């Protein structure tokens, strides 16, 4: 008995206890809902059977209905474009800004801090702001483009099927860029200065220093930022709700929005779950990347 107690106080028992606490928390609040989500994707769940634990089993019917839906193809393509486009732009702009503010000039840290102002705003507020900016008739963006002579008549960002997805993407890039910048700034700050000094002495120019020192040293940070970017982008819902509601004619519907529509507009929770299960599989792969890159971080 005393051995167990001692082990609990100071030893392997204590470690195990801590792990059990964390794991059971994860299991109850993340694991169970995930498993339940997988289960209801094989069941017929409507509004009024939602409260009961078990529902009629329908096998793969929900999956067949979702994947044979005329909207499915478009949603898949939209999700792909939105995720790849958003992450690529957020990352590139975020990295550029991080490098820029890494240069030591007066006020650099202040300006970097200001960028975060956008990121701390709630998604719905950002969505409403962009909704106004993107308005076809009275939007500021159209006004600017017109004054600069780039366009003759307003672009209907939200209502033109050729633009609606990119309108939301624009808002999302603006919204997510500061987060990328901050994480990458931290990565940049962690690279020891003497590496650059040594390289400079050896005659490496700025471009060479970037390719041979900055990028390799940032590999784990970049992996983490990209993985988080994909996960956050796949979670992006508020902007769609505020700007296009997935429309017009489904032209800006992405997987996460469709899942919500099926569940909470059409009240078919089974089909809604099918989409989230599919998304979980994708996110699982991305998480592996994230875990691998953060593991490399601890080794450094």
Partner 1 sequence: MTRLMMTTALTLGLTATAAQAEVTLSLWTESATAPEGVFAREFSEMDNGITIDVREIRFDDLVADTLRAFATRTNPDLIAIDNPDHAAFSARGAFLDITDKVAASDVIDADAIFEGPRSSLSWDGRMFGLPRASNTIALYYNKDLMAAAGLDPDSPPTTWDEFLEAARAMTDPANDVYGVAFSARASEEGTFQFLPWAQMAGGSFEDINAEGVAEALELWKTLLDEGLASPDTLTRGQWDSTGTFNGGNAAMAISGPWELGRMAADAEFDWGVTLLPVKEEGGPRASALGDFNLAIFANTEHPEEAFVFLEYYQSQVDRVWPEFTRLPSVAGVELAPTGDARIDAAAEVFAEQLESARNRGPHPEWPRISRAIQTAFQSVLTGEAEPQAALDTARAEIDGILN
Residues lying near partner 1 in the complex (CB under 8 A) are found at 47-48, 50-51, 135-137, 156, 158-161, 164, 244-251, 264-267
Task: Identify the residue whose tokens are 């009024």.
Answer: 48
Please, which residue, 36 or 267, has the CB nearer to partner 1?
267
Q: How far is the CB of 232 from partner 1 (least distance, A)?
A: 23
Please, which residue, 22 or 249, has the CB nearer to partner 1?
249
Q: How far is the CB of 153 from partner 1 (least distance, A)?
A: 8
The conformation of residue 150, written as its DSSP 8-state character, comes to S
Please, which residue, 85 or 247, has the CB nearer to partner 1?
247
Give the whole-angstrom CA distance, residue 19 versus residue 246: 42
Please, which residue, 214 or 276, has the CB nearer to partner 1?
276
Q: How far is the CB of 268 from partner 1 (least distance, A)?
A: 8
Residues 6+ apart with CB under 8 A from 136: 142, 154, 155, 156, 157, 158, 159, 160
Please, which residue, 25 or 267, has the CB nearer to partner 1?
267
Q: How far is the CB of 198 from partner 1 (least distance, A)?
A: 57
Q: How far is the CB of 98 from partner 1 (least distance, A)?
A: 35
C-alpha angle 89/127/275, rounded to 5°?
75
């Amino acid at each position: 008995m005393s051995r167990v107690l001692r082990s609990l106080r100071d030893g392997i028992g204590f470690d195990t206890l801590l792990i059990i606490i964390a794991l059971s928390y994860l299991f109850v609040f993340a694991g169970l809902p995930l498993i339940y989500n997988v289960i209801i994707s094989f069941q017929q769940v409507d509004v009024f059977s939602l409260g009961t634990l078990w529902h009629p089993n329908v096998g793969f019917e929900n999956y067949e209905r979702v994947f044979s839906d005329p909207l499915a193809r478009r949603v898949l393509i939209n999700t792909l474009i939105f995720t790849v486009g958003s992450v690529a732009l957020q990352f590139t702009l975020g990295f550029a800004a991080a490098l820029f503010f890494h240069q030591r000039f007066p006020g650099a840290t202040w300006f970097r801090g200001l960028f975060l102002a956008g990121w701390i705003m709630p998604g719905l507020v950002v969505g409403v702001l962009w909704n106004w900016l993107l308005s076809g008739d009275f939007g500021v963006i159209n006004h600017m483009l017109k004054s600069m002579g780039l366009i003759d008549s307003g672009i209907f960002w939200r209502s033109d099927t050729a633009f609606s997805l990119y309108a939301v993407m624009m808002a999302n890039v603006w919204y997510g860029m500061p987060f990328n910048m901050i994480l990458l700034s931290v990565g940049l700050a962690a690279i020891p200065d003497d590496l650059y000094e040594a390289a400079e002495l050896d005659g490496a120019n700025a471009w060479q220093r970037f390719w041979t020192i900055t990028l390799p040293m940032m590999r784990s940070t970049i992996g983490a930022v990209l993985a988080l970017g994909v996960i956050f982008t796949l979670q992006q819902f508020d902007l769609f709700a505020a700007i296009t509601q997935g429309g017009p004619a489904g032209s800006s519907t992405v997987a996460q929005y469709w899942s919500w529509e099926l569940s909470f507009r059409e009240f078919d929770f089974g089909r809604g779950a099918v989409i989230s299960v599919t998304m979980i599989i994708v996110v699982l792969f991305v998480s592996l990347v994230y875990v691998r890159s953060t593991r490399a971080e601890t080794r450094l």
